[in-house]
Amino acid sequence: MSDPDKTTFPAETYRKDFPILGREIHGKPMVYLDNAASTQTPREVVDSITDIYFSHKANVHRGVHTLSQEATAMMEATREKVRRFIGASSTDEIIFTRGTTEAINLVASSYGSMLKPGDEIILTEMEHHANIVPWQLLRDRQGIEIKVVPIRSDGSLDMDAYRSLLTERTAIVSVAHVSNVLGTVNPVAEIIRLAHDAGAVAMIDGAQAVAHIPVDMKQLNADFYAFSSHKIYGPTGVGILYGRRELLDRMPPYQGGGEMISHVSFPHTTFAELPFKFEAGTPDYVGLAALHTAIDYVCRIGLDNIAAHEEELLRHTTGRLLEIPGIRIFGTAPGKSAIISFLIGSAHHYDTGLLLDKLGIEVRTGHHCAQPLMHVLGIEGTVRAAFALYNTINDCDRFIEAVRRIAPMLT
Ligand SMILES: *Cc1c(COP(=O)(O)O)cnc(C)c1O
């Protein structure tokens, strides 16, 4: 069978790397479109986890024995892999976390503890709860204020409003690179430049970006950048915080415990050098080592190729979806990522999701951890189809056909 995909991207071949994609749901071949929540994991990443458990497992850093040194080397190789992947200048700037959420909490707790009452933090209306609630907790502790950049009707940021919110009181600007609901790709390089001009630091939530578009710290000039392994074909439970060294050096530790110290006595404890100062306790060294394999997988295919393929899937699906009566798509900004949030008429997102599941289509429904955005849109939730490198035009057509079939039942 020839691949009907207009690009020469061999998605059908890559599908074979993901055993789960061969599953059936309610007796139908599964179409997995919940990639903005978690991407699936290729066999080689799972194999690397098995290999570590079977052949290399030992606690990292503290051991003189061979196994511990192997485990340490594997985990530290990931740090170097991530550094190169995002174009950071030093592995000292790559902090291992449990995910994007913990990375943002780290910055809010640690960098945030240096803020003064009256300092301001700028967020946007499209943020994930992970990039809202940590700052609210900080607001309650530190007496700071939160300002919010509005979005325009197509789901792009109102950059004029952003410029007018920036003042000498702005301490931090924290913005999603790509919206997990609207698909909007924010002009983060510009956002960061304007933040710096105002004397603020900029944190970027890259959870929805790194698996879909090339990201480079030197080009962006971000102060902090966070992402999660499970959204880039890697294992669950691990993530990355990139931080600019001058800032990380000045910041107090986030959590205390083993690994993050240099010397401990009851009167006084000194802390480890970067990046270990921010890594208390035994990390998920198995997951971190396997993240290396996931990044290799993505790099072998190439983010430019992935981006072009997903753009084709987005274009194909959006056009046909809009032909179905009653469809409303939320987020139509130019250059958006391959995420389609929609509603059918006045149908409840949950009912739509349930019926799609019966037809083998796995989509997410609800507020997508972005309740303030739902409030702005005047809705309670959406149905969200989010595409990944292994989705095919056939997946898109199955999805469109399913929506076409259920729409009359719901409206
Ligand atoms: C998924 C997501 C998060 C949270 O990631 P976790 O892996 O749950 O920590 C934050 N921001 C955005 C934009 C996301 O899509």
Tell me the DSSP string of 335-383.
T--SEEEEEETT--HHHHHHHHHHTTEE-EEE-TT-HHHHHHHT-S-EE
The amino acid present at 82, given as its one-letter code, is V
pLDDT band at 162, cuts 50/70/90?
A: very high
- Report pLDDT for 5: 47
Instruction: Tokens for 159, please give them.
Output: 């950059």
Which atom belonging to ligand 1 lies closest to the Cα atom of 228?
7
- Report pLDDT for 2: 43
- Report pLDDT for 411: 80
Cα dist. 77→73, 124, 260, 290, 401 in Å?
6, 35, 19, 10, 45
How many Cα atoms within 13 Å fall on the side-chain side of residue 146?
22
Which atom belonging to ligand 1 lies closest to the Cα atom of 179?
13
**Signed CA dihedral, 263, 269, 275, 281: sign only:** positive
Q: Which residues contact 34 (CB under 8 A, 6 or more apart)?
A: 362, 363, 364, 384, 386
35 Cβ below 6 A of ligand 1: no
CB atoms within 10 A of CB 21: 18
Mean predicted lDDT score pLDDT of the chain: 97
pLDDT band at 6, cuts 50/70/90?
A: low
Residue 129 has pLDDT above 70, yes or no: yes
Instruction: Tokens for 170, please give them.
Output: 């702005």
| Distance (Å) from CA 129 to ligand 1 centroid | 8
391 Cβ below 6 A of ligand 1: no
Residue 148's DSSP bridge partners are 123
| Distance (Å) from CA 228 to ligand 1 centroid | 7
- Report pLDDT for 61: 87
pLDDT band at 89, cuts 50/70/90?
A: very high
Which atom belonging to ligand 1 lies closest to the Cα atom of 98?
9
User: Rounded CA gap, 286 and 47, in Å?
Assistant: 12
130 Cβ below 6 A of ligand 1: yes
Residue with CA closest to ligand 1 atom 5: 100
Cα dist. 171→118, 140, 168, 203 in Å?
10, 16, 8, 11
Q: Which residues are catalytic?
A: 369
- Report pLDDT for 7: 55
97 Cβ below 6 A of ligand 1: no
| Distance (Å) from CA 334 to ligand 1 centroid | 23
82 Cβ below 6 A of ligand 1: no
- pTM to 2 decimals? 0.97
pLDDT band at 160, cuts 50/70/90?
A: very high
Q: Which residues contact 89 (CB under 8 A, 6 or more apart)?
A: 83, 217, 218, 245
134 Cβ below 6 A of ligand 1: no
Please say whether the beta carbons of 371 and 128 come within 8 A: no
Q: Where are the alpha helices (DSSP H) in 23-169?
A: 43-55, 66-86, 100-110, 133-142, 159-165
Measured in whole angstroms, how far is the alpha carbon of residue 109 from the centre of its chain? 20
pLDDT per position as a tens digit, 357-371: 999 999 999 999 999
| Distance (Å) from CA 266 to ligand 1 centroid | 38
pLDDT band at 3, cuts 50/70/90?
A: very low
pLDDT per position as a tens digit, 276-332: 999 999 999 999 999 999 999 999 999 999 999 999 999 999 999 999 999 999 999
pLDDT per position as a tens digit, 33-84: 999 999 999 999 999 999 999 999 999 987 899 999 999 999 999 999 999 9
Q: Choose between 5 and 326: higher pLDDT.
A: 326
Residue 1 has pLDDT above 70, yes or no: no
229 Cβ below 6 A of ligand 1: no
| Distance (Å) from CA 325 to ligand 1 centroid | 32
Mean pLDDT value across residues 169-196: 98
DSSP 252: P
Burial class (CB in 10 A: 0-12, 13-18, 19+), 66: exposed
317 Cβ below 6 A of ligand 1: no
Residue with CA closest to ligand 1 atom 12: 207
User: Rounded CA gap, 215 and 206, in Å?
Assistant: 9
User: Rounded CA gap, 195 and 53, in Å?
Assistant: 45
